Each structure stands twice: as C-alpha cells, then as structure tokens.
C-alpha cells in the first residue's frame, strides 16, 4: 500500500508512514485537502511554519490510465487565505507514485535555501543558496546538469523567494520543459519554507499496486478509444487549448480590456488556428507536445521565434487571453515572451495577465503596450517595487493603484471566461472553495447538454455544483481536466464514466456505486468548505465583483444577474 512521506525541513529529517484509514479513499486534490484539514490550523499564517505543503498524485497515478499523471499541490493559500490545490502536469506525479508515495508532506522551515532529493534509497538534503539568484530556466538547467536527465525537478523562482502571492511551483516534463502548479500563491508557501528545489529520481522502482491488471487493461483500452473519438479532442490534439480563443470570441465571452468587452478585434492574430500555421513555418517548434507521461492528447506546444529559437512551452488559452486580449495585446510572439518571463520568475500567467490589465486601467501602462508589459514582468526577478506589485497578482495591483475594477474572487483573478455570458462558470468562480478558477468546475454549453442556456440568470447553481463535484473528483483521481471533460460529456451516452470507475476498481480491488464520481467530488468539496469556514470565510466571500452585475456587456447587454440565493444554494445540496 502506498505510503505518506513526511519531510521536516526544520530538522532535515524524513520518515514514511502508513496512510491513515481516513485518507485512503483519496488521492490528489482530495488528499491534499484532507491533510490540510486535519493537520494545518485553519487560521494560521499561510507563510508561517504551521502551514504545510502537500504534493499528491491522484488515485490513478503511476498506472496506464490515459492522462492520469496530474499532480496536486496543496497548502493554505497566501492569496485566498483558504484551502488551495494547484494542479499540474509534468513528470512528478508518476515518479512519486512509482516510488510508492501517496503524498509527500513538507513541513517546518529550513534555516537556509535547501534542495531535497527523493529516490529509492531515501531522502537527502543539501544547501541551495547558489540557486537563489537565478530564474527558473537557469535553475532547471543547473539541476539537470547535476542530477541527469532522468529526474523530475520541482522548484520556485525569484517570486517564491520573495513570497509574492502570485508565485507558483514549477515542474519539469520528461523533456525538461516547464509545467506550473500555478494558482493561489503556493510558490510563496514553498519559498517561505526555504525549499528551493525538489529532485525526484524513481530509477529502479515501481511500487504501483494494481489488483487486477487484465481488468485495468480492458478499461484503459475502452477509455482511450472513447477519448480519441471525441470531436473536441480532435481539435485539441491539433490546436491545443488555443483553439478556445475563437470559441470564446464567437460567444462574446473572451476577456478583453480588463473584462470590459467580450470580443477582441485582433483575436484572429492570437488564436490557435493562427498559431498552428505560424509554428509550422518555424524551425524547432512543435504544434503538439505531451506535458506528462501517459498523455494521449498532446495538447501542448513548443513555441519558437522566427529564427527557430525556443521561447516557451507551452502557451495555453488562459495565458493568451489574459495576457493578450485582456490587455489589448494582439501580438502572439510578445504574448509568448511575456509568458516566458512569467515562467522564469515563477508566477501564475493568469493572475499576472489580470494584474497587467489592472495596471493598464490604472495608468501605469498604456493599453496594448506589450513591450512595457514584458519589462514590468521582468522586474519581478529584479525585485523592484512595481515588480513585486505585479508579482503579487491582480488584487494587490488594484489595491496599490487604486483601481476599482479588479476581476477576482477570494483574492484570486478570474480565469479567461466572462461570467456575464457563461453564468454557470460565473457561479463556479464565485462559490468554489478554490477561488475563481475554471478548473474547479467550468460550465459550458454543447451537444452533450443541448437544453442548457449559459446566459440564463436562473438554473445555474445545479449546473455549477455538478461540475464542481466532477472536477474535484477528476483532480482526486489524477486525470487531466481535458480528459475529465470528455468523460463528463459522454456520461449520458455509453458512459466513459463506466470505464473510469472500472479502471479504479481494477487498481484497488474494490467495487464502486454508479454515482461514485460525483459522490467523491462532493466529499472533497465538503472538506474544503469546512477548512474555509474554520479560516473565517462566509457566504459573502462567494460573490463576484460588483462591476459584473452593474456593467452591461456585449450585444445582448447582459449583466451577471444570478440571484444571491442561488449562489448560497450551491453547497447546500
């Protein structure tokens, strides 16, 4: 049975423990929330020694299930002041699972910047001050040179060292590109512990238990066939998440000029179709790239310049929209360079994109000033006053500059979907325990749900609740959000849900009821809500900024008019 690895940074000791019975039904997000709820005082200082950081593969981590290698990073958030799970690809989850770890808990605080190596032989500690002056790309290059190309690296950048509230935790893919546990400022938690980097080597180990390998193989084959035959997945495999640019543009929900409009007149210059044609002409680029072992979709990309020089991998829809249209920047190359600067500093592109738009609204930059935006993000590494402000995200930037229109919930910037058009997603933004985050339960119209009306003010709470449960379960199982959406969309037909449950049953040897997925997600949400309530959050924290309900928007002149009683009903089911 998989163990818990507990690493005490204060004493520089490590020990493995049996997983408590109460935790065994969880992995990933459910496990990070459970450990946080049980072991971390809800009202503690998120940057203090009492907070803990948890890394947990999902329940399917390390298996052959498609796209099941996501990692949940959990802690009390210095941004939202509540429960937080930041989800990422890369190689870390699979390596930890193969080493036999259900979770790694980092606790205490080192006296100096420290790196930790986890391998089959045990855990070791070493000084890491020599990495503290470097950006994330240089850190990864140095550690790859030291430890070889078979390891996975997790690290913080300068933003984490400075404990800025938009700081992220950065991880490597098998080919050493960067993937990000982006949201909620968990890089600041890692920085507060002076944990500079973690190196994981799973060489010679595969402790993943599968009770019925034949049953797993059968269910994996059925899941794979269903996913690869899905229409949305066909587009995703060709264009990646940037295909969403023209979808939201057409719907009038593409964040533009700090969420003051829903369509951008240069959208066709930053969309997935344009990027595909651009990269086909450029040396060393890739229009498809797998961010983690076992990915069958490869919806990421490798973006190079006109001379074939690497810029960033990968550039995603959220980054394109919030750095691009939301700031009136219509140059995809400049968006990619700003994305790279965010990765190098170790910050969340979503919160930084929103912060840049807020800075433009506050007059610090001119609208569409891509060069100025790039220089401002690069100031994070330099630690200037403006760099620290932007590196702390949209809310801090708005507070500093006196800007009233700041699109955030619980201190965390909205993802790239306007809630006046996608009102069910707006309910998720408002009521998710995680703060405004599309991965917590995006609600979209589509062929799977033809009767759903996204602009209707009523009936949105049950839609959001279902999706919040579903995505909490996907995060707990360890599946990628994209494959999780496909599982959900086919739930009403020849249920891929059946094979999802069958695959888990093959791993654990247990049988699960028909409503297992949503019941699992519901249990996770209950734990997260309990922690937030103990931290002092109330229903008043489950609200969108007022400007969404006051400013008429788009050709339909929509406002966000979901009744407050509907918002309050989401978590009473």
* Percentage of the chain lying above the pLDDT 90 cut: 90
Q: Is the pLDDT of residue 564 over 80?
A: yes
**Which overall architecture, per CATH, does domain 423-572 show?**
Orthogonal Bundle (1.10)
Pairing of strands 114-119, 195-201: parallel
- The pTM assigned to this predicted structure is 0.97
pLDDT at 464: 97
Whole-Å CA distances, 497 to 30, 31, 296, 382, 505: 19, 21, 18, 48, 12
Between CA 561 and CA 356 the distance in angstroms is 27
CA–CA separation, 468 vs 482, rounded Å?
14
Q: Which of 226-235, 321-330, 427-436, 467-476 has the lowest mean pLDDT?
A: 226-235
- Mean pLDDT in residue range 283-301: 93
Residue pair 198/105 in contact (Cβ under 8 Å)? The answer is no
Per-residue confidence at 179, pLDDT binned at 50, 70, 90?
A: very high
The full set of domain ranges for the chain reads 3-201, 238-413, 423-572
Separation between Cα atoms, residue 294 and residue 138, nearest integer Å: 27
CATH number of 238-413: 1.10.569.10
In whole angstroms, how large is the CA radius of gyration of the chain?
22
Query: What is the average pLDDT across 502-514?
Result: 94
Mean pLDDT across 501-509: 96
Residues 340-350 pLDDT 10s: 999 999 999 99
Contact 258, 139 (CB under 8 A): no
Enumerate residues 6+ apart whose C-beta is below 8 A from 572. Answer: none
Which position has the higher pLDDT, 449 or 52? 52
Per-residue pLDDT, averaged over 359-382, amounts to: 98
The CA-to-CA distance between both ends of the chain, in Å, stands at 34
Task: Look at domain 3-201 and name its CATH class.
Answer: alpha beta
274-288 residue pLDDT tens: 999 999 999 999 999
pLDDT level of residue 234 (50, 70, 90 thresholds): confident
Burial class (CB in 10 A: 0-12, 13-18, 19+), 424: buried
Tokens, residue 373 = 């935006």
Give 146's contacts (C-beta < 8 A, 6+ positions apart): none
From residue 199, alpha-carbon distances to 279, 497, 527, 551 in Å are 32, 35, 30, 48
Give the pLDDT score at 573: 58
CB 480 within 8 A of CB 227: no
CB 125 within 8 A of CB 12: yes
Look up residue 334 and give its two tokens. 């400049």
Count other C-beta atoms under 10 Å from residue 245's C-beta: 27
Contact call for residues 521 and 500 (beta carbons, < 8 A): no
Alpha-carbon span 390 to 358, nearest angstrom: 10
What is the band of 230 on the pLDDT scale with cuts at 50, 70, 90? confident
Convert the pLDDT of each residue in 86-110 to its tens digit.
999 999 999 999 999 999 999 999 9
Cα separation, 325 vs 314, whole angstroms: 18
288 vs 227: CA distance, rounded Å? 17
Domains 3-201 and 238-413 share a fold: no
Whether pLDDT at 554 is above 90:
no
Tens digit of pLDDT for each residue in 404-425?
Answer: 999 999 999 999 999 999 999 9
| 101-107 sheet: strands from edge to edge | 13-18, 3-8, 101-107, 53-57, 71-76, 83-88
Q: What is the pLDDT of residue 133?
A: 87
- Tens of pLDDT along 387-402? 999 999 999 999 999 9
Residue 520 token pair: 């699992």
**What ranges in 193-320 are assigned the alpha helix state H?**
213-228, 231-239, 244-251, 272-280, 317-319
Q: Cis bond leading into 519, ω under 30°?
A: no
Tell me what the mean pLDDT of segment 118-136 comes to.
97
Give CA–CA dist 214/218, Å, rounded. 6
Instruction: Report the phi/psi class of residue 258: left, alpha or beta, with left for phi > 0 and alpha for psi in -120 to 50.
Output: left
Rounded CA separation 5/130 (Å): 27
Where is pLDDT greater, at 482 or 122? 122
Higher pLDDT, 259 or 492: 259
Structure confidence at residue 495 (pLDDT) = 65
- Structural tokens at position 388: 């620290």
- Taking Cα atoms as reference points, which of 399, 406, 403, 390 lies closest to residue 356? 390
Average pLDDT of the residues of the chain: 95
78 pLDDT band (50/70/90 cuts)? very high
Among residues 159, 165, 163, 184, the alpha carbon closest in space to that of 29 is found at 184
Return the pLDDT at 124: 98
- What percent of the chain has pLDDT above 70? 99
Using the 8-state DSSP alphabet, how is residue 112 labeled?
A: S
pLDDT digits (tens, 9 = 90+) for 184-219: 999 999 999 999 999 999 999 999 999 999 999 999
Residue 170 is predicted with a pLDDT of 98
């Amino acid at each position: 049975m998989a163990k818990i690895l507990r690493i005490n940074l204060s004493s520089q000791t490590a020990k493995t423990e049996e997983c408590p019975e109460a935790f065994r039904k969880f992995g990933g997000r459910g496990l990070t929330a459970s450990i946080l709820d049980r072991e971390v005082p809800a009202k503690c200082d998120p940057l203090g020694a009492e907070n803990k950081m948890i890394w947990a593969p999902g329940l399917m981590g390390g298996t052959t299930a498609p796209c099941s290698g996501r990692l949940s990073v959990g802690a009390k958030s210095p941004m939202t002041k509540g429960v937080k799970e930041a989800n990422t690809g890369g190689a870390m989850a699979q390596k930890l699972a193969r080493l036999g770890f259900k979770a790694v808990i980092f606790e205490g605080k080192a006296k100096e910047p420290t790196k930790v190596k986890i391998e089959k032989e045990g855990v070791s500690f070493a000084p890491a001050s020599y990495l503290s002056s470097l950006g994330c790309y240089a850190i990864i290059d140095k550690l790859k040179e030291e430890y070889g190309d078979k390891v996975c690296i997790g690290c913080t950048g300068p933003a984490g060292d400075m404990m800025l509230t938009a700081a992220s935790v950065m991880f490597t893919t098998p080919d050493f590109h960067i993937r990000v546990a982006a949201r909620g400022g968990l890089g600041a938690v890692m920085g507060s512990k002076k944990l500079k980097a973690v190196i994981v080597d799973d060489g010679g180990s595969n402790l993943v238990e599968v009770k019925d390998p034949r049953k797993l193989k059968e269910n994996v084959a059925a899941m794979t066939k269903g996913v690869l035959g899905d229409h949305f997945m066909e587009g995703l495999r060709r264009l990646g998440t940037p295909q969403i640019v023209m979808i939201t543009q057409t719907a009038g929900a593409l964040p533009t000029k700090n969420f003051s409009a829903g369509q951008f007149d240069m959208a066709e210059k930053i969309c997935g179709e344009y990027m595909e044609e651009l990269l086909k002409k450029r040396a060393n680029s890739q229009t498809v790239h797998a961010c983690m072992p076992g990915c069958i979709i490869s919806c990421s990309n490798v973006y190079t310049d006109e001379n074939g020089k690497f810029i960033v991998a990968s550039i995603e829809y959220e980054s394109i929209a919030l750095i691009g249209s939301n700031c009136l920047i219509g140059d995809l190359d400049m968006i990619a360079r700003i994305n790279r600067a965010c990765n190098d500093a170790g910050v969340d592109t979503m919160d930084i994109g929103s912060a840049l738009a807020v800075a433009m609204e506050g007059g610090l930059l001119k609208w569409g000033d891509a060069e100025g935006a790039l220089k401002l993000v690069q100031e994070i590494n330099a630690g200037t006053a403006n760099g620290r402000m932007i590196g702390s995200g949209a809310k801090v930037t708005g507070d500093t500059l006196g800007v009233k229109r700041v699109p955030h919930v619980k201190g965390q910037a909205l993802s790239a979907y306007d809630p006046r058009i996608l009102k069910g997603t707006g309910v998720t933004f408002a009521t998710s325990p995680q703060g405004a985050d599309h991965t917590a339960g995006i609600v979209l119209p589509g062929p799977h749900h033809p009767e759903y009306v996204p602009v209707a003010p009523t009936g949105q709470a049950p839609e959001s609740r279902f999706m919040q449960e579903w995505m909490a379960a996907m995060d707990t199982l360890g599946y990628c959000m994209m494959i999780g959406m496909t599982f959900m969309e086919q739930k009403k037909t020849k249920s891929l849900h059946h094979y999802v449950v069958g695959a888990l049953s093959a791993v654990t040897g247990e049988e699960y009821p028909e409503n297992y997925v949503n019941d699992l997600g519901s249990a996770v949400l209950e734990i997260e809500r309990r922690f937030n309530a103990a931290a002092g959050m109330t229903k008043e924290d489950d609200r969108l900024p007022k400007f969404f309900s006051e400013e008429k928007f788009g050709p339909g002149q929509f406002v966000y008019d979901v009744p407050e009683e509907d918002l309050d009903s989401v978590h009473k089911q």
